[in-house]
Amino acid sequence: MAHVKASGSKAHQGGNVAGKRLGLKVGNGQQVNAGQILVRQRGTKFYPGYNVKLTRNGDIIATKGGEVYFTKVKRPRGFRTIINIKA
């Protein structure tokens, strides 16, 4: 019996897209300047704390210069990581 191998779908081809360079840009205890980007994210994986602001696209930036530190806060459904700056 003749047989033809099934070909793949064309729907998901062309998926070679450059990475968006998301993630943490600074570490715990690192010195930053005002206006510096601390995290690039989609959604809210990290939350803003003292001297830090959440931008319209979800990134977190420093409003004052100082030392970055992370804290974890217990919430009803798990933990929340908050980024703060000690000015």
Residue type, 48: P
**Structural domain spans, the chain:** 23-86
- The reported pTM is 0.79
The whole-number average pLDDT for the span 1-25 is 79
* Secondary structure letter of residue 87 according to DSSP: -
The whole-number average pLDDT for the span 62-72 is 97
CB-based contacts of 71, cutoff 8 Å, min separation 6 = 49, 81, 82, 84
Closest CA to 38 of 62, 19, 72, 54: 62
- Assign 10 a pLDDT band (cuts: 50, 70, 90): low
The whole-number average pLDDT for the span 29-41 is 97
Instruction: Tell me which architecture the domain covering 23-86 has in CATH.
Output: Beta Barrel (2.40)
